[in-house]
Chain A
Amino acid sequence: MTILSIRDLKVNYATQDGTVQAVDGVDLDLEEGQRLGLIGESGCGKTTLLKAIVQVLPRNGHIVSGEIKFKGMDLLKLPPAEMRQLRWREIATIPQASMDSLNPVQRVGSQLMKLLRVRGGYNKKAARKRAVDLFDLVGLDTERLMHYPHEFSGGMKQRAVIAMALALEPSLLIADEPVTALDVIVQHQILSVLRELERELNLTVMLITHDISVVAQVCDSVSVMYAGRIVEEARSEPFFASPAHPYSLGLQQAFPNLARPRDVLVSIEGYPPDLREPPSGCRFAERCPFAREDCHEVDPQLENVGAGRRAACLRSGEMDALRTRAEDPTLWQNVEVAQGYMPPSPGPFPHEEGRGGSVESSPTTIPPPSFWGRGSRGGGNVENDDILLEMNDVSKRFKIGGGLAGLLRGDTEQTVYAVNNISFSLRRGESLGLAGESGCGKSTTGKLLVKLIDASDGQIVFDGDDLSGVDDRELLGFRSRVQLMFQNPFEALNPRFTLYRSLTEPLIIHGWKDENERTQRVVETLDRVNLRPAEVFLDKYPHQLSGGQLQRVVLARALVLHPDFLVADEPVSMLDVSVRAGILNTTRRLARELGLATVYISHDLSLLQYTCDRIAIMYLGEIVEIGPSSEVINNPQHPYTQALIAAVPVPDPTIENPPLRIREGVPRPTEKFAGCPFAQRCPEAMQACLTIRPPVIVDERGHQAQCHLYGEHRDSPRLIQASPS
């Protein structure tokens, strides 16, 4: 039975600058029990579609034409009062960032029961019983009903929100980015909950996300949305095996995949068309590497392309051949050229001759790094003259709750051990990834590395100089050689500076007097990061650029002084999938060209595997495992690393992630552990783990883990862990 049927839906937003046709002629059918994943980059109309279905469009948005039928009722003709009855009872939605929508001053249980009594007509007793059942269903401890939202972790809040959405047994659940802001372990657990619920309740689900691996894990069919239209519809298996639209093809290849790592990721250059004046031809033609002349004129319709798939592409007949060609990343790079960019200029910076060497810009030809850790004592240090940076037993503590106000309130001062005795070293030109859940100290480590904060203990040695004792002049010298790339490109540039001003600032600070030289360097650097022609960008302000372009500017600012060392803190997590790969590829290429040592900080292991020579896994301020990327990913030793890797969703519907054996939630590191910091959550925990520091185990390839499982205490009696909820 068809539950939801949308015909030729058009939604417009009236804005100051004209009418935006956010959803433009969408047809969609949802069968009972179907789990549909709606994917596409931001600004493609996914959320607008959701809002149109439940009719909560913002005031400037209105439905121009079309039909939305829910169980045979035309929703657009329904009086508002009846529509109100329908929401939540029949169509439940989990909006974006809904974890934050719980009322902070009410117990979660009473919010749930209030909903049941007001909207569901339950009496007090039945509501309580139902609330308990619901909490059971989503895997929350029923004692939690009495808790306030601030006592919940992010994952628990999301579970509570799911419980609320399901409270009135809706026939349709629409979830908008339900796992986006969550850590991978929590994400894994929420996805498992969703999967179980689907099976148990035979739910009909529409899941909106930009992350195709989430779709692969939870959905049985996929619709790809682009520029207000649906460009492809298919069942999950054929979709992931052989996408039938170039956009889907690009999206799929833009994603790093832990199971099947790629040499190079594809970046769909450019961005979606301006929906105030959509192009008359295919909307993807501008960015499509396969676009023909007629693609720009003829508007393709969704057509059957066999195997129950529908795609809107003029060349869908030749898809099999195109799919093979799409494997070649240079094909997608050529789009850069086709869009009016100049071809990448070969060769290193003029004065870098001989250092980086003239490495061909195509990443496929880059020789594998010949230097990987060659096992030594002291947590990943490498014995070699070529060492650029060394961390020796570095710690960082923060004090919280102290001060005058704390004293008056009677709070005791607490110490947070953000980073504990970490040691590693980095060679010139090497790239190291720092991974771990949020709160594991990876960003603090990044700040320590660039001396934004000072270490409490330990020694950071950069190019032979101990950083703790530098004077102002030496510090300035250090500043010219070490740079930082930020997570949020929209905040990383001064909104009041033109790009020229932003890029020239570091040069002014470091005493470049001649303006012509400065300008020349700025133009050269912009050109390097593929912002071409550079002159066009000089006079722009940050708000005039897209996120991907901004991140390129941020990269350019980091590189304008030709540093030796770059720390990139979540460089692409705020960007759209389609442009992520472009930033990563450019960063990687430049790092190799310039012989730049790089530290990438990310929660995304597949991304680190793609970009880094070595990976370090951090937990509660300690490095628990470090080694060559492929070793750490394919042969993880530490139970925490194993859990992290198992939790990464695989963009392949035929592979289901294994169940996790650890619980969510990183404890706050306010105490120092005598034993292993991970012991509390570890499925393998032994008695020795609680009291004795685990030894560092190194193999001949420099892969080291800090765990009792491989040391002399391996036979210590196991602790019985509460089973993960």
Chain B
Amino acid sequence: MQQEASVRGEGRGKETMEFRQSSALRQLWETNLEVFQRDKMALFGLCIFAVFAIVAVFAPQIAPNDPLTPLKNNEGDWIKDAMPYWLAEPGEDEEEGYTNNFLLGTTNIGRDIYSQLIHGSRSALLVGFSAAAAVAVIGTVVGLLAGYYGGLVDAILMRAADVAFGIPFIPFIIVVSAFLDPSIWNVVVAMAALLWRDTGRVIRSQVLVIKEQAFVSAARVSGASDLRIIFVYIAPSILPLTFLYGSFAIAWAILTEASVSFLGFSDPETISWGFMLQDAFNSLALSREAFYWIVPPGLCIMLTVMAGFFIGRGYEEVLFPRLRRM
């Protein structure tokens, strides 16, 4: 009992005496877990992502029709501008020679809006997560190298970041899209090329703080190599920050993809929510008060972006009163 008292802190002390080696990974996992346990908003955001992820994976099974093929009635004509079945006047479909089971109606060239919405989640999540991953990885590596080595490396990387800060984002993507074949990957490429700047800067500043701490000097005195110090000592401390910027980047990417699609620079063969909005805009859906065409993709964009920010906010909550944890 005296021995127990001689050790400050409880909890882990009462566990058995066996010890584990890979504590860094476990701690990282615990930090991530803590984010979602503490912050219900972040948990809500995670749920939104989970639902969209399931929808995206099983899109072909969930969607009743192909999103790109125009639907035809008995006479072989396109089923243009059909209202959702819960809005349409009963019997109208039979007159036109088809069965109205369209949850959200059809477009002006007879495509099923509901199926488009389902398939849209695929490109949204694809763009969102790959752009976020690219931004987070590039930014983290740049930040680690610039912060740790300093000097010339720092000067080159940070001036490059200054250049990236100077380039306006949407026009840049439009130019990139114009040069490359239209594809949703353009957005990912453009984001990876520009948005690492914020992540890199923030992580660099954090690295500057951490590398001055005595435990880093201690590692160096013990003979640890630069790479070991960067990846074993410093990186684990800044990874939560990477996640924070990653989750914000998801939201940004989805929003950007929607903007670019809406401006008409996307691949017409790929359905995305921004593409749907543009389609609706071009076919004067607004003047026909076809809210069932406009509101659902808008709502989906809003929900995914919100989810990204909720999660980011959760990380901030845990990260920045961080002195408490240290």
Chain A residues proximal to chain B, CB less than 8 Å: 270-271, 339-341, 404, 450, 452, 475-476, 479-480, 482-484, 486-488, 491-498, 500-502, 505-506, 509-510, 515, 533, 535-541, 543-546, 549, 554, 557, 561
Contact = CB atoms under 8 A, between A and B. Distances in A.
B6 A339 contact: yes
B215 A493 contact: yes
Interface stretch (B15-23, B54-62, B74-82, B135-143): B15-23
B236 to A, nearest CB: 5
Between B21, B214, B228, B325, the greatest number of chain A beta carbons within 10 A of the residue's beta carbon is seen for B214
B102 interface: no
Contacts of B325: 543
A486 B237 CA distance: 21
A549 B13 CA distance: 15
Contacts of A538: 17, 19
A510 B228 CA distance: 13
Nearest to A535: B17
A340 B218 CA distance: 31
B6 A270 contact: yes
Contacts of B19: 498, 500, 538-539
A546 B224 contact: no
Contacts of B213: 491
B218 A544 contact: no
| 10 pairs of A and B residues whose beta carbons are closest in the complex | A340-B2, A544-B9, A479-B223, A506-B222, A492-B214, A486-B214, A539-B19, A491-B214, A494-B215, A535-B17
B221 A540 contact: no
Contact of B7 (A450, A487, A540, A561): A540
A501 B23 contact: yes
Given A452-B217, A494-B233, A538-B19, A506 B223 contact: yes
Contacts of A498: 19-20, 23
Contacts, number: 115
Nearest to B322: A495
Contacts of A484: 217-218, 221
Contact of B6 (A340, A500, A505): A340
A452 B211 CA distance: 13
- Chain B's interface: helix, strand, loop or mixed, by majority? helix
Nearest to A569: B214
A270 B155 CA distance: 49
A539 B17 contact: yes
Contacts of B160: none
B27 interface: yes
Contact of A483 (B3, B18, B221): B221
Interface string B207-230: 000000111011111111000100
Contacts of A515: 21
Contacts of A557: 218, 222
Given A482-B221, A541-B12, A496 B27 contact: yes
A493 B24 CA distance: 14
B167 interface: no
B288 interface: no
B326 interface: yes
A479 B326 contact: no
Contacts of B222: 479, 483, 505-506, 509-510, 557, 561
15 contacts: A339-B6, A493-B215, A496-B24, A496-B27, A498-B19, A498-B20, A498-B23, A509-B228, A535-B17, A536-B6, A538-B17, A540-B9, A543-B325, A546-B8, A554-B218
A539 B217 contact: no
A677 B285 CA distance: 85
B199 to A, nearest CB: 21
Contact of A540 (B13, B20, B155): B13
A520 to B, nearest CB: 14
Contact of A486 (B6, B7, B217): B217
B274 to A, nearest CB: 41
Given A270-B6, A549-B8, A496 B221 contact: no
B9 A537 contact: no
Nearest to B216: A494
A10 B129 CA distance: 56
B213 to A, nearest CB: 5
Nearest to B228: A509
Interface string B107-120: 00000000000000
Nearest to A504: B21
Contacts of A537: 7
Nearest to B7: A536
Given A494-B233, A496-B237, A509-B223, A540 B12 contact: yes
Contact of B221 (A339, A450, A494, A541): A450
A543 B12 CA distance: 12
A536 B13 contact: yes
Contacts of A341: 6
A496 B23 contact: yes
Contacts of B23: 496-498, 501
Given A509-B228, A545-B7, A549-B8, A536 B221 contact: no
A488 B214 contact: yes
A279 to B, nearest CB: 11
Most buried by B among A340, A495, A540: A495
A497 B224 CA distance: 15
Nearest to B28: A496
Nearest to A342: B3
Given A340-B2, A533-B3, 20 more contacts: A340-B1, A452-B220, A452-B221, A483-B222, A484-B217, A492-B218, A493-B215, A495-B326, A501-B21, A509-B223, A536-B7, A536-B17, A539-B15, A539-B17, A541-B12, A543-B326, A544-B9, A544-B12, A544-B13, A557-B222
